[in-house]
Structure 1
Amino acid sequence: MNKHIVFAICGCLFFVNAFSQTKNVAELLNEIEQNNTELKGYQAFIESQQLENKSTNNLPDPQLSGYYMPFGDNLTGDYTEYEISQSFEFPTVYASRNKWNESKSQQLASAYSAKRQDVLLRAKGIFIELASLQKQKEIITERRTQSKQVFDQIQELFDKEQVGILDLNKAKIAWIQEQFVVQQIDSDIQVQLIKLKTLNGGIPIDGVSSQLILPIEIGTVENLWQKKLTSDPALQELKANEAASFQKIKLEKNKVLPNLALGYNYQGVSGSNYSGFYGGVSIPLWSSKNKVKAAEANYEYQQSNTQVITTSVYAQFQETYYQYELMLEKFNEYQTTMGNLDSEQLLFKAYQLGEYSFMVYYLELQFYRNASDKMLQMEKELQLLQAQLLKHQL
């Protein structure tokens, strides 16, 4: 039986045979992306921010003012005056602010992509966990069957007074423990399905593919890092922050130019009136003070922040990659050592032939079962590490 267990775990390092044959993981991740309430909410937030950013580039409201002066000596008649005007910033300011708004939209898009990636990585981790649990369930179910066979045999020997009550009790406890493990795994599977349902906007996940194949070879650390630099949303967001702060410098420099106003003016008294065009200039001597310097300082900060965070992410990426390589090496050693063994079946035959007492058989069995469980746990951890390394592909 051990041979079958090992082959079930190791036949393909990253072959997950845990689900029904309807949808693959990519389709399920796309479904979660469409239904996830966190992502939907963030999309609405992005839309509101983009509209708010556009509103900052609107013209000021037109102004209408008037005077009617009937009091006083009125030697020349009542005096009437009204004026309508439209003020606006220097035209180049609007073009510069529009580019700044575009760069801020890119910031929002990068932030959404990073959040989307985090959600999908969580979902993929749950798929991996579910696959591992399903494998465990298959193995433990077979172990439970074997434990029942052993218990039935010992019960028969006990009835014949060939073994004592202690061996019978031990065999029964071993069988009960295997039953409990199966129940616990069923419970864990339901917990993971609830997590998936939550990520899927409250909609139950069904039709999961029977196969999740993750390649063993994932490339060198440098090649992976170069791909991550060009496609990882979190790193792209840093570049977007730099671009937005650079556009802010250009905007503040343009805002040093004078504001303008145009309008129409009417003045009338005792049948005589004057009318004509109104023009004005507002020189921003004080309102723009230190703003260009502040924008330049913020740009320097964004550049430094990009470098610091990128260096930190690269160090973490290297650590994860080397951890993955080390675990893969250990897993291959386990696979080579246990691949041709049939230890559990041999132990069971030895027990049936009376070569081992139940206690010796059980202790020896636990040793090989622990090794098989360790191999299954390592497989899951390898998949989770690989998902983290390939996060930028989501």
Structure 2
Amino acid sequence: MKRLIIYVLATIVMAVDAGAQTSIDQVLREVEQNNTTLVALKRRVDAETAGNKTDLFLPNPEVEFNYLFGSPSSIGNRTDISITQGFDFPTVYSRRSDISNLRNEQVLLEYKRQQKELFLHTRQVCNQVIYLNSMLKEYDERIENARRMVDLFQTKFETGEANVLDYNKARLALLDLSKKAEALQVTREEQLAELTRLNGGKEIDLQLADFPAIIIPDDFESWYAQAEQNNPVLAWLKLETEVGRQNEKLNSALALPKFQAGYMSEKVVGERFQGISVGVSVPLWESKNKVKEARALTEVSRAVEQDNQLRFYNSLKALHAKGLQLQSSLSDYQQELELCNNTTLAAKALEAGEISMIDYILELTVYYESFNNMIEIQKDLHQTQAELMQFEQ
């Protein structure tokens, strides 16, 4: 009964520890709050949004005052006052407003694009840390096993049951594992430093040593339809084509007459004239070929949009196929390694003197290489999934 209670308590503690570990989603939430690049991008969004709202209003009114001295002085002086307001054809202002709104939508999409790139990089760094944590955990076990072999052969060497060659092989195997673990630890510190940078200088303690289970969907086409809708680059290019269409309409409107209206007063000795003034500017030459240029630029934007859409489709399809292949390879490795793990049997055979030290090392080397390959594939699978995930929402 006492053992059962201890086992239950230990299980609860392990569950609490596992739940307390920082997850990738938690890291992303922290980075979203603390990343200095995102802070700067948000301020840039505010600035560009305000900038796109300029030039939407009437030009400044013009006020003119003239005071003319008469000659001879007997005729008196003359005073002129003129106030005029110029304005384009009314449709110009609605077209400019439409373009301004489209540009502001593009500003937000550009922010989302850079945010997605930042989150992708953060997720990939997290995957690297998880991979390194997993490898270091595995190397801890390998080093502990190698130390047992060194102690075993040291004892056997001292009692004359083993020669110095086997004892030296055990020591070299331990040294090799220790140095590889040290190199992994250095790389882990580098990746954690990168996480700290991404988090605005605040440290993140990512201790996860196991990748979460994931499944790459088999049906690419239905998944792609959603991913295409969530790609800010394609959405930005689609808006750029629409901006081109609105520019065509704007240039057509700018080819219409411009107007001026105002008040004018002229005063001389004994006389005063005042009234309204009206003017019109007929754009005979200034706007020539403007509409043609805008239409050509729209065609360029449409071609760029179609090209990017095709490239996006093909790149995601290749990425999806890669994910499925890695998923299949990982499943094969996991099944075979579970069935073909002979490390315990090899250790017992070595202790019993049934195999030599070199045979034992070769046996472990085969298993270790297969295990390393499995973890590499698992890491590559999650890196591939991270690239696919950025377009899921």
Q: Residue 265 of structure 1: CA displacement?
A: 1.1
- 1:265 maps onto 2:264 in alignment: yes
Structure 2 CA distance for partners of 1:343 and 1:208, relative to 1, 3 Å: closer
Task: Verify the 8 A CA contact 1:144 1:175 in the aligned structure 2.
Answer: yes
Q: Residue 75 of structure 1: CA displacement?
A: 5.0
> Aligned equivalents of 1:157 and 1:368: distance in 2?
26
> Aligned equivalents of 1:106 and 1:194: distance in 2?
35
Structure 2 CA distance for partners of 1:275 and 1:208, relative to 1, 3 Å: farther
Alignment correspondent of 1:65 = 64
Q: Residue 58 of structure 1: CA displacement?
A: 2.8
Q: Which amino acid aligns with 1:233?
A: P
Which secondary structure does the structure 2 equivalent of 1:253 belong to? Answer: helix
Alignment correspondent of 1:199 = 198
> Aligned equivalents of 2:210 and 2:75: distance in 1?
96
Alignment correspondent of 2:326 = 327
Alignment correspondent of 2:337 = 338
- 1:54 maps onto 2:53 in alignment: yes
TM-score, normalized by length of structure 1? 0.90
Deviates more, 1:206-215 or 1:66-75: 206-215
Alignment correspondent of 2:86 = 87
Q: Residue 341 of structure 1: CA displacement?
A: 2.8
Q: Deviations over 1:40-71 (max 9, x none)?
A: 22222222222222112132122111222215
Aligned identity (percent) is 27
> Aligned equivalents of 2:115 and 2:21: distance in 1?
24
Alignment correspondent of 2:313 = 314
Task: Verify the 8 A CA contact 2:216 2:324 in the aligned structure 1.
Answer: no
> Aligned equivalents of 2:104 and 2:166: distance in 1?
72
Q: Residue 230 of structure 1: CA displacement?
A: 1.2
> Aligned equivalents of 2:261 and 2:24: distance in 1?
62
Which ranges in structure 2 are unaligned for 5 or more consecutive residues? 1-16
Task: Verify the 8 A CA contact 1:21 1:208 in the aligned structure 2.
Answer: no
> Aligned equivalents of 2:163 and 2:285: distance in 1?
99
Q: Residue 287 of structure 1: CA displacement?
A: 2.5
Alignment correspondent of 1:149 = 148
Structure 2 CA distance for partners of 1:214 and 1:57, relative to 1, 3 Å: farther
Deviates more, 1:294-303 or 1:199-208: 199-208
> Aligned equivalents of 2:352 and 2:208: distance in 1?
43
Q: Residue 218 of structure 1: CA displacement?
A: 2.3
Structure 2 CA distance for partners of 1:289 and 1:140, relative to 1, 3 Å: same
> Aligned equivalents of 1:336 and 1:76: distance in 2?
112
Q: Deviations over 1:244-268 (max 9, x none)?
A: 1111112111111222222211101
Structure 2 CA distance for partners of 1:34 and 1:60, relative to 1, 3 Å: same
Which secondary structure does the structure 1 equivalent of 2:353 belong to? Answer: coil
Which ranges in structure 1 are unaligned for 5 or more consecutive residues? 1-17
Q: Residue 210 of structure 1: CA displacement?
A: 8.2
Alignment correspondent of 1:249 = 248
Q: Deviations over 1:318-352 (max 9, x none)?
A: 11111222222222222222222331111111111
> Aligned equivalents of 1:214 and 1:343: distance in 2?
26
> Aligned equivalents of 1:71 and 1:174: distance in 2?
111
Task: Verify the 8 A CA contact 1:19 1:208 in the aligned structure 2.
Answer: no
Q: Which amino acid aligns with 1:45?
A: R
**Aligned ranges for residues 24-35 of structure 1 at < 5 Å?**
24-35=23-34
Count of aligned pairs = 377
Q: Residue 152 of structure 1: CA displacement?
A: 0.8
Which secondary structure does the structure 1 equivalent of 2:245 belong to? Answer: helix
Q: Residue 193 of structure 1: CA displacement?
A: 1.2
Alignment correspondent of 1:301 = 300
**Aligned ranges for residues 165-204 of structure 1 at < 5 Å?**
165-204=164-203
Alignment correspondent of 1:42 = 41
Structure 2 CA distance for partners of 1:278 and 1:67, relative to 1, 3 Å: same
Task: Verify the 8 A CA contact 1:25 1:212 in the aligned structure 2.
Answer: no
> Aligned equivalents of 1:330 and 1:91: distance in 2?
65
> Aligned equivalents of 2:38 and 2:326: distance in 1?
34
Deviates more, 1:128-137 or 1:283-292: 283-292
> Aligned equivalents of 1:203 and 1:156: distance in 2?
49
Q: Which amino acid aligns with 2:380?
A: E
> Aligned equivalents of 1:214 and 1:337: distance in 2?
18
Taking only aligned residues, the RMSD between alpha carbons, in angstroms, comes to 2.0
> Aligned equivalents of 1:36 and 1:214: distance in 2?
28
Task: Verify the 8 A CA contact 2:132 2:188 in the aligned structure 1.
Answer: yes
Alignment correspondent of 2:273 = 274
Task: Verify the 8 A CA contact 1:249 1:292 in the aligned structure 2.
Answer: yes
TM-score, normalized by length of structure 2? 0.90
Alignment correspondent of 1:108 = 107
Q: Residue 107 of structure 1: CA displacement?
A: 1.3
Which secondary structure does the structure 1 equivalent of 2:52 belong to? Answer: helix
Task: Verify the 8 A CA contact 2:330 2:374 in the aligned structure 1.
Answer: yes
Task: Verify the 8 A CA contact 1:214 1:383 in the aligned structure 2.
Answer: no
Task: Verify the 8 A CA contact 1:230 1:236 in the aligned structure 2.
Answer: yes
Which secondary structure does the structure 1 equivalent of 2:261 belong to? Answer: strand
Structure 2 CA distance for partners of 1:211 and 1:268, relative to 1, 3 Å: farther
Task: Verify the 8 A CA contact 2:130 2:209 in the aligned structure 1.
Answer: no
Q: Residue 211 of structure 1: CA displacement?
A: 7.5
Alignment correspondent of 1:78 = 77
> Aligned equivalents of 2:202 and 2:161: distance in 1?
57
Q: Residue 207 of structure 1: CA displacement?
A: 7.1
Q: Which amino acid aligns with 1:32?
A: V
> Aligned equivalents of 2:365 and 2:206: distance in 1?
36
Structure 2 CA distance for partners of 1:86 and 1:209, relative to 1, 3 Å: farther
Structure 2 CA distance for partners of 1:183 and 1:208, relative to 1, 3 Å: closer
Alignment correspondent of 2:158 = 159
